[in-house]
Amino acid sequence: MNKEALDSLKEILELDEAFKGGRFGVFLDSSDSRVEKYYIKANKEGLKLFAYQLLCAAEDLKDQEKEDSNERIALLPKENAWIYKQSEVILEYIEVP
C-alpha cells in the first residue's frame, strides 16, 4: 500500500471525524487468574484509527526494507485522545525481528 492509497483510505474511513469520538484500549481480563488474557475495548472509530496506524506502520516497514534499515516503527503518540487513559497496554512501536 502506497502513500496515495493510505491518504485515500484515510478519507474513505472518515478518520478526521473518528478522532473526535474514537476510543481504543487494551485491558487485562481478570476473569481467569490462571492465565493472562488481554482484550481490546474499542468502538468502531477507535478500531478504524488503530487499523490505519497498523497500515501506516506496514508502509514504513516497506520503506525500511528498501533502505535496508531496521528501526522501530512508531505507532501511537502518547497524547492520542482516542486511546483510553486506563488502557493497561499501550502499543507504542513495532520492532522488526
Q: What is the mean pLDDT of each run of 10 residues along the chain (97 residues)?
A: 85 86 93 88 94 90 81 75 89 85
Domain that holds residue 43: 3-94
Cα–Cα distance between 75 and 41 in angstroms, integer? 18
Say how many domains are in the chain.
Answer: 1
Question: How confident is the model at residue 29, as a pLDDT?
Answer: 92
H-state helical runs in 40-87: 44-67
SS3 of 39, please?
strand
pTM above 0.85, yes or no: no
**What's the grid cell of residue 40?**
481490546
